C-alpha cells in the first residue's frame, strides 16, 4: 500500500495469519478500513471473522502479518502503540460482555473510571450523556439482566462509545436475532456511527443488512479476503465466491423447489 | 510409567510457576491501578462482613468443644486451672488461623473462584482487556490486598469468640471459676504467640485468595470440562487446593516458628 492511500486509511491489515493447532483460521487476510466509514466483513460461520476482530483487539495474538492503525504499526511487543490503540478503539462483543453485577450506569462508567483520571462528577455526567444519546437514561439503575436483548446491545454500544473512540469493532452484532431486530441493530450502528463520527468495522453473515448499511464490504473465506469494495461492486461482482455468498438465498429457493418436485430426493437415492 | 510420572511432575511444576507469576502480576498491577481504594473496601466487605456469621458460629463451637474436652482431660490430672492456657494457646497458635482460613475459603474463596470463572466464560474479562483495563488490577489485586487485612481481623474475631466459648463451657457449664480461666489465659499468651497467629493469618489469606482467583481466572483453560462445568470444576479445585495448602502451610510455618 502506498503512503498516499495510508493517509485516508484508519486501519490497514496485511497478510494476517493465525492457526489453532492444525486448524488455519486466518490465511493471509488483508483489509483496509477508511477513516469515518462503516466497513462490514462478511463470511460464512467459521470463516475466521471473529478471530480477525480478536486479533485486532489483542484478545488473540496473530502468528504473522501486520496491523497499521492511523499509519503506525501495532507490533506484538510494542506496548505503547497497543495502549494507544486500545485507548482509541472499542470492541463490541457478540455476547455484549456486560458486567452483570453492575448497573447500566456503572457499566458505562467503568472504562472512564479505570482508564482516565477524570473526577467522579464528570464521569457520571459523561456516562449519563452516553445513556441519554442511546435512549437508555431511564434504565440507568437497572442491571443488564433486567434489560431486553436490544437494550443490552445498546448499553454495550453506550459503553463502547463513552470513551469517544475513533474505531469501534462489532463482532456479529446481529447473531441470533430475528429479521426485525437485525434491521434495528444495523440501523442503530449506522445512526450512531454517523452521529458520533467513529469508524466502524462490523463482522457478520447477514448479507442484506450489511449491503444496505455499509460504505464498504469485504468477504472472508477460508481465512482469506476474497473481495473488498463498495456494496454496489459486491452486487455486480462476477467472482465465484462472491456469487455463491450473494446468491445463497436464491440457491436455497432452487434447492427447496427441487425438493418439492422430488428431484433432490431422487438424486440422493441414486 | 516413568514417562507418565515425569509428564505429571512437569505439569505440576508448570502450574506452580504459572500460579507464582499470576500472584506476582496481581501485586505488580497495584502500581498503576486507578480507584483501587474503593475496590479494596468493597472486597473487604465481601470477605469480611459477609463471612462474619460463619466465623462467629464456628469460633463459638470450637471454643465450647475445646473447653469441654480440655476440662475433662485436665480434670484427670487435677489441673483444671490450666484450661485457659490450653484453650488460648490452641486457638491462637493453631486452630484460630487455620479454621478461620478454611471458613473464609468456603465462603469468600469459593464465591471468588465462581465469580471470576463466570466472568471469564461470559467474556467480561476479555472485555476489560479490550478497554485497556488490567483485569488483574481490577479483579484480583483488590481482593488480595483486602485479604491481607481481613484474614488477621477474622482470625482475631475467631480467637476472641473461641475464648468466650471455652469460658462458657469451662466456667458456666462445668463450674470452673471464671477468674481462674481468664487469669490462665492472660499468663499463657505471649506476644510471640500473637505474632505467629498474625503471620499465619496473612500467609493463609495471601495463598488462598490468590489460589481461588487463579483457578477462577483460568477456568477457560480447564481441560476436563467447558462452560458451566468448567466453572464448577475450577471452583471445586480452588476450594480443595486452598484447604490443603492452609494445612500444609500451617505445618511449615509452625515448624519454623516453634
ipTM associated with this complex = 0.80
Q: Tell me the chain B residues in contact with residue A89 when contact means C-beta distances shorter than 8 Å.
A: 130
User: Could you tell me the three cell numbers for A215?
Assistant: 460504505
Distance CA A7, CA A241 (A): 31
Nearest chain A residue (CA) to B118? A100
Q: Name the CA dihedral angle for A202, A177, A60, A20, rounded to a multiple of 10 degrees.
A: -120
Q: Which chain A residues touch B127 with a CB distance below 8 Å?
A: 91, 93, 97, 99
**Residue found under cell 481481623:** B153
Is B169 within 8 Å of B63 (Cβ atoms)?
yes
**Residue B255 CB: number of other CB atoms within 10 A?**
8
CA proximity to B204, closest of B157, B141, B152: B152
What integer pLDDT is reported at residue A252 of this predicted model? Answer: 66
Place of cell 456503572: A106
A98 inside 8 A of chain B by CB: yes
What does the CA dihedral B105, B107, B113, B115 come to, rounded to 10 degrees? -160
Dist. CA B53–CA A263, nearest whole Å: 73
Binary contact (A95, B131; C-beta < 8 A): no
CA distances from A146 to A131, A158, B242 (A): 16, 17, 35
Q: Is residue B122 part of a domain?
A: yes
Asked whether residue B21 is assigned to any structural domain, the reply reads no
| Residue B35 near residue A113, CB atoms below 8 Å | yes
Mean predicted lDDT score pLDDT of chain B = 93
In a shared domain, residues A43 and A18: yes
Residues of chain B in contact with residue A58, where contact means CB-CB under 8 angstroms, are 129-130
Residue A139 carries which DSSP code?
Answer: G
**More confident: A173 or A270:** A173
- Whether residues A252 and A156 fall in one domain: no
pLDDT digits (tens, 9 = 90+) for A52-86: 998 988 888 899 999 999 888 887 677 888 888 88
**Sign of the alpha-carbon dihedral angle for B81, B82, B83, B85:** positive
- Tell me, yes or no, whether A167 and A262 share the same domain: no
Judged by a CB distance cut-off of 8 A, whether residue B130 touches chain A is yes
A57, A95, A114 member nearest B133 (Cβ): A114
* Inside any domain, residue B149: yes
Task: Report, as an integer, the average pLDDT of B57-67.
Answer: 96
- Cα–Cα distance for residue pair A111/B129, rounded to 1 Å: 10
The pLDDT tens digits for B98-127 are 999 999 999 999 999 999 999 999 999 999
Rounded mean pLDDT, B169-196 = 93
CB A66 within 8 A of CB A35: no
Residue B11 burial (CB count, 10 A): 10
Residues of B in contact with A99 (CB under 8 A): 119, 124, 127
Kindly state whether B133 is in contact with chain A, defined as any CB-CB distance less than 8 angstroms.
yes
- Asked if pLDDT for residue A261 goes beyond 80, the answer is no
Q: Could you tell me if B138 lies within 8 Å of chain A, comparing CB atoms?
A: yes
* pLDDT for residue A84: 86
C-alpha cell at A219: 468477504
Is residue A245 domain-shared with residue A230, that is, in the same domain? no
Total Cβ atoms within 10 A of residue A261: 10
Query: What is the C-alpha to C-alpha distance for residues B154 and B160, in angstroms, rounded to an integer?
Result: 10
Nearest CA in chain A to B124: A97
Both A48 and A155 in one domain: the answer is yes
Based on the fold, state whether residues A148 and A32 are members of the same structural domain.
Answer: yes
Tens-place pLDDT, residues A174-209: 877 777 777 878 888 888 888 888 999 999 888 888
Q: What is the model's pLDDT at position B116?
A: 96
**Gap between the Cα atoms of A157 and A77, Å rounded:** 29
Contact between B122 and A86 using a beta-carbon 8 Å cutoff: no
Decide if B147 is inside a domain. yes
Confidence of residue B192 (pLDDT cuts 50, 70, 90): very high
CB pair distance less than 8 Å for A98 and B124: yes
Judge if A84 and A143 occupy the same domain: yes
Higher pLDDT, A180 or A139: A139
Which residue of B115, B130, B142 is the best one to mutate when testing the A interface, meaning the one whose CB has the most A CBs within 10 A?
B130
User: Is residue A21 classed as helix, strand or coil in its secondary structure?
Assistant: coil
The pLDDT score that the predictor gives to residue A250 is 66
Q: Are residues A152 and A261 in the same domain?
A: no
| Statement to judge: residues A93 and A155 lie in one domain | yes
**pLDDT tens profile B116-165:** 999 999 999 999 998 889 999 999 999 999 999 999 999 999 999 999 99
Contacts of A119 in chain B (CB under 8 A): none
DSSP state of A135: T
Domain containing residue A173: 3-237
A250 and A191 fall within a common domain: no
Residues of A in contact with B35 (CB under 8 A): 113-114
Cα(B55)–Cα(B67) distance, integer angstroms: 18
Structural domains counted in chain B: 1
Q: Is residue B112 part of a domain?
A: yes
Same domain, A208 and A261: no
CB A42 within 8 A of CB A219: yes
Pairing between β-strand A167-171 and β-strand A224-229 as defined by DSSP bridges: unpaired
User: By three-state DSSP, how is residue B82 classified?
Assistant: helix
Show the domain range for B172: 33-257
CA distance A15 to A9: 16
Residue A14 sits in a domain whose CATH number is 3.40.50.300
Predicted pLDDT of residue A2: 42
Best A74, A83, A84, A97 member to test B by mutation, with max B CBs in 10 Å, is A97
User: How far is it, in rounded angstroms, from Cα B253 to Cα B193?
Assistant: 12
| Neighbouring C-beta atoms of residue B123, cutoff 10 Å | 21
Side-chain-side CA neighbours of B69 within 13 Å: the count stands at 9
Which band of pLDDT confidence, cut at 50, 70 and 90, is reported for residue B54?
Answer: very high
* Average pLDDT over all residues of chain A: 86
Contact B130 A57 (CB under 8 A): yes
- Give the residue from chain A lying closest to B128, CA to CA: A111
pTM score of the predicted model: 0.84
Q: Which chain A residue is nearest to residue B123, measuring alpha carbons? A: A97
Nearest to A122 by CA among B39, A130, A156: A130
**Number of domains composing chain A:** 2
Domain shared by A182 and A133, yes or no = yes
Amino acid at each position: 500500500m502506498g503512503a498516499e492511500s495510508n493517509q485516508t486509511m484508519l486501519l490497514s491489515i496485511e497478510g494476517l495469519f493465525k492457526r489453532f493447532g492444525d486448524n488455519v483460521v486466518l490465511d493471509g487476510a488483508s483489509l483496509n478500513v477508511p477513516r469515518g466509514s462503516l466497513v462490514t466483513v462478511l463470511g460464512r460461520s467459521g470463516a475466521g471473522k471473529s478471530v480477525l476482530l480478536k486479533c485486532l483487539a489483542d484478545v488473540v495474538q496473530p502468528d504473522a502479518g501486520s496491523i497499521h492503525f492511523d499509519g503506525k504499526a501495532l507490533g506484538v511487543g510494542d506496548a505503547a502503540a497497543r495502549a494507544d490503540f486500545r485507548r482509541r478503539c472499542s470492541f463490541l462483543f457478540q455476547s455484549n460482555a456486560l458486567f452483570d453485577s453492575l448497573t447500566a450506569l456503572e457499566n458505562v462508567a467503568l472504562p472512564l473510571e479505570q482508564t482516565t483520571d477524570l473526577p467522579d462528577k464528570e464521569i457520571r455526567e459523561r456516562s449519563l450523556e452516553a445513556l441519554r444519546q442511546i435512549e437508555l437514561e431511564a434504565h440507568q439503575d437497572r442491571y443488564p439482566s433486567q434489560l431486553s436483548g436490544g437494550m443490552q446491545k445498546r448499553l454495550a454500544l453506550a459503553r463502547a462509545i463513552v470513551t469517544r473512540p475513533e474505531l469501534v469493532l462489532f463482532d456479529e452484532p446481529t447473531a441470533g436475532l430475528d429479521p426485525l431486530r437485525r434491521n434495528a441493530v444495523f440501523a442503530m450502528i449506522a445512526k450512531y456511527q454517523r452521529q458520533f463520527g467513529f469508524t466502524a468495522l462490523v463482522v457478520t453473515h447477514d448479507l442484506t443488512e450489511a449491503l444496505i448499511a455499509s460504505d464498504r464490504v469485504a468477504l472472508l473465506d477460508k481465512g482469506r479476503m476474497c473481495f473488498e469494495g463498495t456494496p454496489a461492486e459486491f452486487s455486480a461482482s462476477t467472482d465465484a465466491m462472491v456469487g455463491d455468498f450473494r446468491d445463497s438465498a436464491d440457491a436455497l429457493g432452487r434447492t427447496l423447489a427441487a425438493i418439492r418436485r422430488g428431484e433432490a430426493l431422487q438424486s440422493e437415492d441414486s | 510409567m516413568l514417562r507418565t510420572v515425569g509428564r505429571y511432575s512437569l505439569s505440576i511444576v508448570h502450574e506452580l510457576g504459572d500460579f507464582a507469576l499470576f500472584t506476582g502480576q496481581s501485586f505488580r498491577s497495584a502500581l498503576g491501578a486507578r480507584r483501587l481504594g474503593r475496590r479494596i473496601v468493597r472486597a473487604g466487605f465481601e470477605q469480611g462482613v459477609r463471612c462474619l456469621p460463619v466465623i462467629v458460629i464456628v469460633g463459638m463451637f470450637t471454643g465450647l468443644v475445646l473447653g469441654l474436652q480440655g476440662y475433662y482431660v485436665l480434670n484427670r490430672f487435677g489441673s483444671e486451672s490450666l484450661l485457659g492456657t490450653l484453650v488460648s494457646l490452641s486457638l491462637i497458635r493453631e486452630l484460630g488461623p487455620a479454621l478461620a482460613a478454611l471458613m473464609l475459603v468456603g465462603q469468600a474463596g469459593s464465591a471468588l473462584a465462581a465469580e471470576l470463572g463466570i466472568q471469564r466464560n461470559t467474556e467480561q474479562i476479555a472485555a476489560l482487556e479490550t478497554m485497556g483495563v488490567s483485569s488483574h488490577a481490577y479483579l484480583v489485586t483488590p481482593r488480595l490486598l483486602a485479604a491481607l487485612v481481613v484474614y488477621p481481623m477474622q482470625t482475631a474475631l475467631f480467637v476472641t469468640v473461641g475464648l468466650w466459648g471455652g469460658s462458657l463451657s469451662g466456667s458456666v457449664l462445668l463450674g470452673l471459676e471464671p477468674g481462674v480461666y481468664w487469669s490462665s489465659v492472660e499468663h499463657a499468651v505471649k506476644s510471640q504467640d500473637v505474632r505467629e497467629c498474625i503471620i499465619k493469618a496473612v500467609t493463609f489469606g495471601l495463598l488462598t485468595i490468590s489460589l481461588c482467583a487463579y483457578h477462577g481466572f483460568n477456568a477457560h483453560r480447564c481441560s476436563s470440562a467447558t462452560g458451566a462445568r468448567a466453572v464448577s470444576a475450577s471452583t471445586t479445585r480452588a476450594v480443595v487446593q486452598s484447604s490443603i495448602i492452609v494445612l500444609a502451610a500451617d505445618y511449615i510455618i509452625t515448624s519454623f516458628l516453634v
